[in-house]
A and B are shown apart, each in its own frame.
Chain A
Amino acid sequence: MDYFNPILSPWPWIVAGLALPAIVALYFLKLRRKPVEVPSTYLWSRTIEDLHVNSLWQRLRQSLLLFLQLLVILLVLLAFLRPGVMGTKLLESRVIILLDNSASMSAEDVSPSRLDAAKDRALEIVEKLGPSDVAMVIAYSDEAQVVQEYTDNRSLLRQKIQAIEPTQRPSRLDEALRAASGLANPGRSSADATDVQTAEAKPAELFIVSDGGVAAVPDFAVGNLNPKFLQVGAEEASNVGILAFSAERNVEKPQQFQIYGRLGNFSLEEKSVEASLYLDDLLIDARRATVPPGEEGDVVFDMDLTDGRPPEGTLKLSLAPEGRDDLALDNVAYAALNPARKARVLFVTPGNGPWELALTTDAVAEIADVEIGAPALLETKEHHLAADEGRYDLILYDRVSPVRPPQANTFYIASLPPGEQWNAGELEGPPILVDSDRAHPVMYLIDALTNIAVAEARTIEGPQGARTLLEADIGPVMQVAPRGGFEDVVLGFSFYDQGQGGETLVNTDWPRKLSFPIFVQNLVGYLGGSRGALVANSVRPGESTTVRVDVPADRIEVVNPANEVTPVERRGEASFIYPFTERTGVYGIRLPGKEVQRRFAVNLFDPRESDLTPSELKIGGGEAIAASADWTPARNEWWKWVVLACLGLVIFEWWVYNRRVYL
């Protein structure tokens, strides 16, 4: 590329070259003055008298004018030469800036933060825009937001870029790419490169300003986009973050509450952290943990429950890493402990004395409201509605089966769930019970099942993933298997049978054993959900979540960690959808104006966001876009500035000319 681009025709050169001697010649010619007769030159002589005193300065001023005029001509000549410097420019006249504002961009490994560094890079791009170039700004985390449509208004672009706020969301590049591609490759779905274009393609330079902490987007057709990756963030970022945080009753020891945190070390050296556990901002325990570089570690707290009831409130795990930690956001995790709710249990039976008795003991009544109904209930419309709505937490079917699986946990006695996933063997007997899975909460504290006598039983074969709870010599007779979000437990033998003459036949003596009421209590406790639902699931920032209250209501309110209240309306469904989980922390759910009933926690829990090490970016076809710090080399024209300087000089010369006062 030639950085001086002389004009080919000699004429301008000749004209310009003649200008210099012409100016000098004009200065040698004496000025012809017009004679004017005045009454007296007395005053005029006195006026210009003191100017004679500094006539040397006058002469200098005169030569200053000459000098200025020569300088102007030289600058004009320089402008003809079309000077330029090796610079950089944007190739296309359309520029899309994708600016990452996900959680990891809040890291402070570059001062003041990665997001600010990214904004600076974006502003650099805006500075390099040509006069007719247009640019668009998209901020993305797990969703893309068009901050500014295509515009050539640079101050607007700068203003919009400066106004981008950090979020606590994880990052997903694909949506942002689709948004960009939709504008760059109109009339074409970006996923399918063979699609026919219906509108003129608009090639665009795509700048992705990010730290690279995003998943690869392999199935993205770049099309007209020319992606460039501008990486922000220091190479040796140091961060320890919480990747998981849960609290639950110790399965083996129900009197203990177990709090478990998973830590990840994303630094290059071993990190020692002090983990403090708070319950409603009250420090209750602290541990020190050491995590090797690039690996994960655990902190486990055990809480003894004095009255057997789990605590309520907000659990907070806070990390205080030793040394530098660049991302503060993942050093705190929350868990919401909701008050135990009474399980709603329905027992459908043609008549079963021991079960009815066992379900109405004080111990069960404390954790569940039990309804008992006849098999005819299953036919009613109200029941269908209630079962489909999820009004019950647990339904026990004694020798009956529903038409379709209810939205609840189920326990089947001598019957099978609808569908073909469960199978039962032939009626055999008497089986000898040989083993029980005591690790499972349902079988907790149940020993000596071997002395239970059973007349006849069927083997049970559940769907894939089923776990055998009770095994007899003929095979499994009780199994548990997941079904969507629920669990089905199927028992292969009945307690009572109907004889041929209508008489009631006893099939087992289990109700007489001590283990029977414990089993019923475990069953209601576990499947009724009063233990499992104790700790609400954690939600990621930006995810919408389903919230529910104990009492039916059409309108609830959600209190976010900043104590702002958002009303949530029911939208036809059984539950309320709350989408505004922007900040990490604990959100309270309440009826309008009432006390907070339930809570849920929002946590980052994203190793990709916590991992601050800058990484490469892969888009379409798997080839990595290297982090490019350099711009496209280009020629930066300077002649405009030279001409501008010329204009300034001419104005200055005019001023000097008008200031001069001499003979």
Chain B
Amino acid sequence: MSSQPLSDDILPPSLLARLERMELVSRKIFRGRMKGERKSRRKGQSVEFADFRNYVAGDDLRFIDWNLYARLDKMFLKLFLEEEDLHFYALIDDSPSMQFGDPTKFRFAKQLAASLAYVGLCRADRVRVESLSSTVRDRAPVLRGRASRMRLVDQMNKMQPGEPISLEQGVKNFCLRNGGKGILVLISDLMDKQGYETALRYLLAQEMDTYVIQVLAPEEIDPDLHGDLRLIDSEDADAAEITVSRPLLEKYRRTLSAFVDGAKEYCTRRGMTYLMSSSDRSVEDLVAGYLRQRGLVR
């Protein structure tokens, strides 16, 4: 299989082994379309006991706990946990600005998306990984079940940086294509001259459980620049002339810090989870460590 080396690259066995033990967690209650392996917060029919409640007229007599009635002479209804499936979407920013860093931000984003998607596959969730520049024509398939791993890897490998598209437009397209509720992980550098706020507002309207993971290249976090430079934007060829000096670099760092803090505050206020990561960070650590703490996986 020609994609085998790449598959190993994106989802190495050691990572797979860890991911198989995890599951995606949603903070919101979503009604799944099919029965899944997921314990829903909704009570329903399953073998797993959840709670009692008082009997009210009209309740299904099959669920009355007769043993308890014999003891207390009161009727209680047994409640069971419902098991259902979950929609998991990963949206990768594939604009040219993601092509920077070593490994590139784009590759980091793909690997992170693949990892989270695999967690979903293992728990029989509905998984869809898309990029911002995806159109209705080449929309990605919905994957389900562990067996779909190779299809996922294949899709990831095929995914290439696309045309420059604004974050707002990309997210809008995504929302039009996918109406369902579920967990959405947006992996982007948020570097959009029109701002990220409108884009995130679309996701908010979608009532998804949204995670925003901002990926920045090390050269963006701590630029290693010297001298009199003409900086050229990789997306719109905009130019900025700078003379690098210590005060300027300090000012850049302050601006970056303000930008990151602003995004974090914007997300937190609107119930989204924000996370910033450098592209040279290990995906395994990020998923197993940080995202676990933040409650996306467990």
Contact = CB atoms under 8 A, between A and B. Distances in A.
Contacts of A41: 231-233, 238-240
Contacts of B193: 40, 42
B246 A39 contact: no
Contacts of A662: 243
Contact of B240 (A48, A658, A659, A661): A48
B230 A663 contact: no
B132 to A, nearest CB: 15
A660 B238 contact: no
Given A659-B247, A660-B245, A661-B245, A47 B228 contact: no
Contacts of B248: 47-48, 661
A600 B177 CA distance: 124
B266 interface: no
B77 to A, nearest CB: 58
A89 to B, nearest CB: 47
Nearest to A51: B251
A38 B252 contact: no
A81 to B, nearest CB: 36
A33 B255 contact: no
Nearest to B192: A42
A370 to B, nearest CB: 107
B55 interface: no
A658 B246 contact: yes
B256 interface: yes
B191 A35 contact: no
Given A31-B228, A661-B245, A661-B248, A43 B259 contact: yes
Interface in B214-258: 217, 219-220, 225, 227-235, 238-243, 245-248, 251-252, 255-256
B266 to A, nearest CB: 16
A37 to B, nearest CB: 5
Q: On chain A, which size bracket covers the interface?
A: 20 to 34
B239 to A, nearest CB: 7
Interface in A603-654: none
A33 B259 CA distance: 27
A42 B191 contact: yes
B240 A40 contact: no
Contacts of B240: 41, 44-45, 48, 663
A40 B232 contact: no
A539 to B, nearest CB: 77
Nearest to B189: A39
B interface secondary structure, majority:
mixed
B97 interface: yes
B255 A47 contact: yes
A38 B251 contact: no
Interface residues of B, number: 37
Interface string A327-360: 0000000000000000000000000000000000
A497 B225 CA distance: 134
Nearest to B227: A34
A1 interface: no
A45 B228 CA distance: 15
Interface in B172-222: 189, 191-193, 217, 219-220
Interface in A29-88: 31-48
B100 interface: yes
A33 B241 contact: yes
A39 B230 contact: no
A44 B231 contact: yes
Contact of B245 (A42, A43, A44, A658): A658
Contacts of A663: 240-242
A257 B251 CA distance: 99
Contacts of A35: 229-232, 239
A47 B220 contact: no
A43 B254 CA distance: 10
A34 B234 CA distance: 16
Given A39-B220, A45-B240, A34 B100 contact: no
Nearest to A50: B251
Contacts of B192: 42
Contact of A43 (B100, B105, B230, B252): B252
B13 to A, nearest CB: 32
A43 B256 contact: yes
Contacts of B225: 36
A41 B229 CA distance: 12
Given A47-B252, A662-B243, A663-B240, A38 B234 contact: yes
Contact of B251 (A33, A37, A47): A47
A40 B191 contact: yes
Nearest to B255: A47
Contacts of A44: 231, 240, 242, 252
A36 B245 contact: no
Interface string A135-166: 00000000000000000000000000000000
Nearest to B239: A41
B175 to A, nearest CB: 24
Q: Which of A35, A44, A46 has the most CB atoms of chain B within a 10 A radius of its CB?
A: A44
A654 to B, nearest CB: 12
Contacts of A42: 191-193, 233
A658 B239 CA distance: 23
A376 to B, nearest CB: 113
Contacts of A32: 228
Contacts of A36: 225, 229-232
A43 B241 contact: no
A34 B235 CA distance: 19
Contacts of B242: 44, 48, 663
A40 B189 contact: yes
Interface string B250-277: 0110011001000000000000000000
A40 B235 contact: yes
Which of B241, B246, B247 has the largest count of A CB atoms less than 10 A from its CB?
B241
Contacts of A40: 97, 189, 191, 193, 220, 233-235
Contact of A38 (B98, B228, B231, B245): B231
A469 to B, nearest CB: 109
A46 B259 contact: yes
A520 B100 CA distance: 133
B238 A43 contact: no
A388 to B, nearest CB: 96
Contact of A37 (B98, B220, B232, B259): B232
Contacts of A34: 227-230
A55 to B, nearest CB: 13
A43 B251 contact: no
State the 5 A-B residue pairs at the shortest beta-carbon distance, nearest first: A40-B191, A39-B97, A33-B230, A39-B100, A41-B233
Given A40-B189, A41-B239, A661-B248, 6 more contacts: A34-B228, A35-B232, A36-B225, A36-B232, A40-B191, A47-B252
22 contacts: A32-B228, A33-B229, A34-B229, A34-B230, A35-B232, A36-B230, A36-B232, A37-B232, A39-B189, A39-B191, A39-B220, A40-B193, A41-B231, A43-B191, A44-B231, A44-B240, A45-B238, A46-B255, A47-B252, A661-B251, A662-B243, A663-B242
